[in-house]
Amino acid sequence: MRIGIFDSGLGGLTAVRELEIHNPNAGYVYFGDTARVPYGTKGKDVISRYAVQDSRFLLSKSVDAIVVACCTVSATCLPLLESTFRIPFFGVVEPAVRAAVKTASAKNGRIAVLGTSATIKSGAFEKGIKRLAPSISVTSIPCPLLVPLVENGHIAEDDRLSNIAVSEYVSSISKQKPDAVILGCTHYPLLAGIISKYLPDSELINCSAVTIAEVLAGNKIDDGKKEFYVSDDPSQFSTTAKMFLRREITDSIEQTDIEKL
């Protein structure tokens, strides 16, 4: 299977990283919508239009399945993508829900969700959790500043700005000691070190990691070329992408006009 992966920008590279950890030779086509990031502050109609264009672009590269490595898209319009296109889509919400419910069910039944404003507004994580385990308590916190902080490289554990933002966002749940905290945005694993400082007793659920683990358990990804496409300047992408992939990108990165599709 030839796989496509997309996100609003760089966050989906946390899924690429997981894929490379498990299967270094895997081929894939990555699209980062760097000209239109962030999606998480936008409304459902705009996010849906972008997600359809992103998927259409990946299909033009002959992929057999798409990993929607963006919680915002997975939470707001995955059913639309599934009904518009005839290939399998793997969203990142349901695998994270399953992992968090497993952890919380074995402990005190408490889950917290951190996400973009659009993701939290959609209620997708909460609904998924309640469907699987109605008695689990869920607290959801929109964290709109975290995507720009990550995109601008504020990921060091002692970074002042990110520490202030994270500690503010999680202050209301630190006393509840949630058993599992869903990092409900594929950018957030880069802030895991900071988040766990303020929530030391919680297991952090990385949506990208649990989704790729499920995809690999049920599918065979072909070895092959790694292709990167972005909608804004590729040179900027390659500089920042290093911190997500923890390697240089030596593969080609091309710019595409996504609005055309």
> Does residue 55 belong to the site contacting ligand DGL (CB under 6 A)?
no
> Does residue 81 belong to the site contacting ligand DGL (CB under 6 A)?
no
Among 34, 53, 186, 231, binds ligand DGL (CB under 6 A): 186
> Does residue 37 belong to the site contacting ligand DGL (CB under 6 A)?
yes
Question: What distance in Å separates the CA atoms of residue 208 and residue 38, rounded to the nearest whole number?
Answer: 18
Q: At what angle do helices 124-132 and 93-105 cross, to 10 degrees?
A: 50
Q: Judged by CB, which is closer to ligand DGL: 50, or 138?
A: 50
Q: Judged by CB, which is closer to ligand DGL: 75, or 253?
A: 75
How many binding residues for ligand DGL (CB under 6 A)?
17
Of 69, 60, 63, 54, residue with least CA distance to 26? 63
Instruction: Clarify whether 185 is annotated catalytic.
Output: yes
> Does residue 34 belong to the site contacting ligand DGL (CB under 6 A)?
no
> Least distance to ligand DGL from the beta carbon of 85, Å?
20
Binding mask 110-139 for ligand DGL (x = CB under 6 A): ------x--x--------------------
Instruction: Clarify whether 70 is annotated catalytic.
Output: yes
Q: Judged by CB, which is closer to ligand DGL: 6, or 104?
A: 6
> Does residue 8 belong to the site contacting ligand DGL (CB under 6 A)?
yes
Of 143, 236, 129, residue with least CA distance to 194? 143
Which one of the listed residues 70, 71, 77, 207 is annotated catalytic? 70
Residue 132 contacts by C-beta under 8 Å, 6 or more apart in sequence?
97, 98, 101
With beta carbons less than 8 A apart as the criterion, state whether 57 and 258 touch.
yes
> Does residue 185 belong to the site contacting ligand DGL (CB under 6 A)?
yes
> Does residue 208 belong to the site contacting ligand DGL (CB under 6 A)?
no
Sign of the dihedral defined by the CA atoms of residues 94, 99, 103, 105, in that order: positive
227 three-class SS: strand
Q: Judged by CB, which is closer to ligand DGL: 38, or 95?
A: 38
Listing DSSP states for 96-146 in one string gives HHHHHHHHHHTTTSEEEEEE-HHHHHHTHHHHHHHHH-TTSEEEEEE-TTH
Q: Judged by CB, which is closer to ligand DGL: 75, or 173?
A: 75
Chain centroid offset of residue 235 CA: 22
> Does residue 11 belong to the site contacting ligand DGL (CB under 6 A)?
yes
Q: Judged by CB, which is closer to ligand DGL: 92, or 101?
A: 92
With beta carbons less than 8 A apart as the criterion, state whether 176 and 110 touch.
yes
> Does residue 53 belong to the site contacting ligand DGL (CB under 6 A)?
no
Both tokens of 141, joined, read: 């916190």
> Least distance to ligand DGL from the beta carbon of 25, Å?
25
The residues carrying an active-site annotation are 70, 185
